[in-house]
Chain A
Amino acid sequence: MATPSDSSGAATEPAIGTVPEALAEPTVGEGARPSIWPPVPRLVLGIRIVIGVALSVAALYAPFYFTPENNRILSQAIYLSIAAMGLNLLTGFNGQVSIGHGAFFGVGAFTTAILMVDHDWTFEATIPVAAALSGLVGLLVGFPALRVRGLYLALVTLGLAVLFPRVASKYVEGAGGVALLRPKRSGFASLIDGLDDDQWAYFLCLAIAVVLFLLAWNLVRGRMGRAMIAVRDQEIAASTVGVNLAGIKVGTFALSAAYAGVAGSLSVMINRIADATNPVLYLQLSIEFLVAMVIGGAATILGPAVGAFILVFLRRNTEDLIEGKEILAPAIFGAALIAIVYVLPEGVVGGVRRLLARLGRRSAGSAARPAPASASDVPNDSINPGGSHEEGT
């Protein structure tokens, strides 16, 4: 049982032999430990259901209401959230920090673009290939990543993101002689009569996102997820309980890379371009994924989605905020990022959870004070239960 005395801010070393909480005991059935997920009082559940339904309806109706341009932006937010989710699996749940997921995104994007431009594939068929290829690259990166820790891993992945556009420029040649591919518009045509191209694109992104998010949710709640978290929190202890460290870490890397690859693939449909001429683009993307994950709420399921939408929203709005002083747009954006992280250190989802938890507590009765111990029935009279003692001894 986790003790309150261990949960303060001061550094406490776990005693040798403790098993990471996530793996300790079964979470269902009689005598089971409560799940690592917080309990959900009825009021909170009600609120969640209402919000969920409202959002689902809005999401399904949106493309018919908005202009193609806006649908495009929504779709961008959706594939951004997929990439952020991938990063979340690796960094939020598994503790391996990566600032290079833009590279995997790029692999996915270029896989799709090359297959469409050079080999005439239809877009939808390229998605699984993009996922597989970027997953493979992720796998290859995951192995040496085993040896590199924390900060250094972050920097090495940063290097990947810087490297990618240059490698792509070297080996990929598009129509203009540079690493820029524009697949034909017809390759992205809507597969459903009655849906415009941009609407179809939106729904495809949405459907894939839902599937991938559900997959992630399922993963994280299961044994694999608990193993991932255990590796994040107490790697050495986890290995003593039989968790295959290398397997989990490399596997998570590959999976998260695959997510980013899918996002990259989708981006080609939305933007109709795969472009490696900008040397900092994929680094910027890597940072966007990280920012989306953090401001949405790391190690949560909804966090990446919330963060992605906030990010896209912020970007659109800081651009036209100050007339004549567009130069300040990055500054405002930067200030907004700082403000969010200041006010909501656990991201939006974390903050909302805390708020709901407080509401839930209030509706279920105030936090119980520890019950006073029953009077001692020790007969020896030199021992005073609870009273102050005299001088001497």
Chain B
Amino acid sequence: MQLFVEQVLNGIANGVVYGSVALALVLIFRTTSVLNFAQGEMALFSTYITWKLADEGDGFGLPIVAAIAISMVIAFVAGAVIERVLIRPVEQARSPLNVVIVTLGLFLGLNSVAQLLFGTDPQFMPSPFPEGSIELFSSGGDTAVLPKSTIGMILVLLAECILLWFLLQRTKAGLMLRAVASNPDSARLHGIRSGRMLMLGWAMAAAIGALAGSLVAAQRTGFDASLMQTVLVFALAAAALGGFDSLLGAVVAGLVVGIADALTIQYVDALDGIEVVLPLALILIVLVVRPNGLFGRRTVERV
């Protein structure tokens, strides 16, 4: 029992990471219909910027919260620029595969430039959350604990979901964003500047990615350029599981993937070494039964 709870909590800690990157992936997809394979590396670059701003040795020594905030602003601008300069011209040629290639190119480029600029040594990221853990319950001498940082991340994620939901569903800007994502040409005919909306979508996703990366790095004892690489696959899985058009779905699915992965590692010996089968099998089954993911809205095709 103890082990089970421990693994679930482990899974939650990881799942929060996957969920936060999945959130950014889904946001970009919902607003621009692009699957951004470079999401992880964009977050990585922003994480390094946060670190540079906060580091007392080589950096500017700012308080961590301020560093994260500034990094998010920088990411916001950078995301808009990337969309305008790299993505939009290619997307206008109308092949989604071309855009995939560009995001892959970005993936390679950002990772390598980050290594060049910031070095390959592991770095330390201060945490905005208080130290320590919260006791959940005890049973027979063992106590199940959840680190405060994990709780903090869950709260941050929930706050993001709520804010984004409000923005997308209840504001005019959100309506325009979704209109552009649904039918960019028609949106233009209604006087909506599609280009601006696309830039906004990327900007927001980049900012969220910066937040996610910074918090993830703070969770660990040290981070380096490989921070996001394993995360990305699980984040993609989580985004798919949740249904690519559901923000909350991405977060929930992230947790599901994290927990499922942890439990599989622990309990299913037959899959020893290939535990990743479980999340993938989960996704496959879900998609076969519900082709739009767990929370995705059903899109009916009309001839």
Chain A nearest CB: distance from B220 CB in Å?
A: 20
**How many Å lie between the Cα of A31 and that of B179 in the bound state?**
45
CB neighbors of B among A331-353 (8 A): 331, 333-338, 341-342, 345-346
**How many Å lie between the Cα of A281 and that of B293 in the bound state?**
28
**How many Å lie between the Cα of A257 and that of B272 in the bound state?**
27
Chain A nearest CB: distance from B70 CB in Å?
A: 25
Asked if B268 is at the interface (CB within 8 A of a chain A CB), the reply is no
**How many Å lie between the Cα of A42 and that of B180 in the bound state?**
45
Asked if B81 is at the interface (CB within 8 A of a chain A CB), the reply is no
Stretch with Cβ within 8 A of A (4 or more), from B46-54, B96-104, B195-203, B259-267: B96-104
Stretch with Cβ within 8 A of A (4 or more), from B5-13, B59-67, B123-131, B280-288: B280-288
Asked whether B236 lies within 8 Å of A163 as measured between CB atoms, the reply is no
Chain A residues whose CB sits within 8 angstroms of the CB of B86 once the complex forms: 338
Asked whether B105 lies within 8 Å of A335 as measured between CB atoms, the reply is yes
Chain B nearest CB: distance from A165 CB in Å?
A: 9
Chain B nearest CB: distance from A352 CB in Å?
A: 16
Asked whether A334 lies within 8 Å of B97 as measured between CB atoms, the reply is no
Kindly name the residue among A97, A170, A330 whose own CB sees the greatest number of chain B CB atoms within 10 A: A330
Interface size class of B (residues with CB under 8 A): 35 or more
Asked if A385 is at the interface (CB within 8 A of a chain B CB), the reply is no
Asked if B244 is at the interface (CB within 8 A of a chain A CB), the reply is yes
Asked if A182 is at the interface (CB within 8 A of a chain B CB), the reply is no
Asked whether B97 lies within 8 Å of A338 as measured between CB atoms, the reply is no
* Among candidates A14, A91, A147, A331, residue contacting B112 with C-beta atoms closer than 8 Å: A331
Asked if B165 is at the interface (CB within 8 A of a chain A CB), the reply is no
**How many Å lie between the Cα of A157 and that of B271 in the bound state?**
20
Query: What does the 1/0 interface line of B85-114 toward A look like (CB < 8 Å)?
Result: 010011011110110111011111101110
Chain A nearest CB: distance from B29 CB in Å?
A: 8
Asked whether B273 lies within 8 Å of A166 as measured between CB atoms, the reply is yes
Asked whether A338 lies within 8 Å of B283 as measured between CB atoms, the reply is no
Asked whether A327 lies within 8 Å of B115 as measured between CB atoms, the reply is yes
Q: How many interface contacts (CB-CB < 8 Å) are there between A and B? A: 144
Asked if A148 is at the interface (CB within 8 A of a chain B CB), the reply is yes
Asked if A50 is at the interface (CB within 8 A of a chain B CB), the reply is no
Asked if B237 is at the interface (CB within 8 A of a chain A CB), the reply is yes
Q: Is the interface of B mostly helix, strand, loop or mixed?
A: helix
Chain A residues whose CB sits within 8 angstroms of the CB of B236 once the complex forms: 155, 158
Asked if B276 is at the interface (CB within 8 A of a chain A CB), the reply is yes
Asked if A9 is at the interface (CB within 8 A of a chain B CB), the reply is yes
Asked if B133 is at the interface (CB within 8 A of a chain A CB), the reply is no
Closest B residue, CB atoms, query A99: B100
**How many Å lie between the Cα of A290 and that of B101 in the bound state?**
8
Stretch with Cβ within 8 A of B (4 or more), from A106-114, A291-299, A362-370: A291-299
Chain B residues whose CB sits within 8 angstroms of the CB of A295 once the complex forms: 101
Given A91-B97, A156-B287, A345-B98: A334 and B276 interface contact (C-beta under 8 Å): no
Asked whether B35 lies within 8 Å of A148 as measured between CB atoms, the reply is no
Asked whether A147 lies within 8 Å of B288 as measured between CB atoms, the reply is yes
Asked whether A333 lies within 8 Å of B283 as measured between CB atoms, the reply is no
Given A91-B97, A151-B35, A287-B104: A335 and B109 interface contact (C-beta under 8 Å): yes
Asked whether A162 lies within 8 Å of B280 as measured between CB atoms, the reply is yes
CB neighbors of A among B1-46 (8 A): 29, 35
Query: What does the 1/0 interface line of B245-260 toward A look like (CB < 8 Å)?
Result: 0000000000000000
Asked if A378 is at the interface (CB within 8 A of a chain B CB), the reply is no
Subset of 15 A-B contacts with CB under 8 Å:
A9-B185, A91-B97, A156-B280, A159-B284, A162-B280, A163-B274, A167-B277, A291-B104, A294-B95, A298-B97, A328-B113, A337-B102, A338-B86, A345-B94, A345-B95
Q: A170-B274, A338-B90 are in contact. List 7 more A-B contacts (CB 8 A).
A: A152-B293, A155-B240, A159-B233, A163-B276, A163-B277, A333-B105, A341-B105
Top-10 shortest CB links A-B: A345-B93, A334-B108, A334-B105, A334-B109, A331-B112, A159-B280, A338-B105, A337-B105, A166-B274, A330-B108
Using CB atoms and an 8 Å cutoff, list the residues of chain A in contact with chain B: 9-11, 14, 16, 91, 97, 144, 147-149, 151-152, 154-156, 158-160, 162-163, 166-167, 169-170, 236-237, 280, 287, 290-291, 293-295, 298, 325, 327-331, 333-338, 341-342, 345-346
